Amino acid sequence: MRAMMTIIEVDGDTHGFQADYDAVRDRYFRTEGYCVIRFSNRDVMTNMEGVLTMIAERVTSPLPTLSPEGERAV
């Protein structure tokens, strides 16, 4: 199973008018194995801790079990 890769996007205020475009783009990225996390400039400037927490929650996953030989099991 291939791990989901993450795209983090920071959008300006005018980007709110492009919701349809973003939805199409997000669907495309999902088909390519990416997950998009989007934040507004305002979120980043006024709530950096919350932004970082959300990113950590989305991208942190448990490590795979180690094999007896010490290499990561796939």
- Give a three-class secondary structure readout of 10-73: EECHHHHHHHHHHHHHHHHHHHCCEEEEEEEHHHHHHCHHHHHHHHHHHHCCCCCCECCCCCEC
Rounded to two decimals, what is the model's pTM? 0.66
pLDDT in tens, 3-26: 678 999 998 776 667 888 888 999
More confident residue, 70 or 17: 17
Report whether pLDDT(72) > 70. no
| Residue 11 contacts residue 38 (beta carbons within 8 Å) | yes
- Which carries the bigger pLDDT value, residue 73 or residue 11? 11
Domain boundaries, the chain: 5-59
* Residue-wise pLDDT tens digits, 24-67: 999 999 999 999 999 999 999 999 999 999 999 887 665 556 66
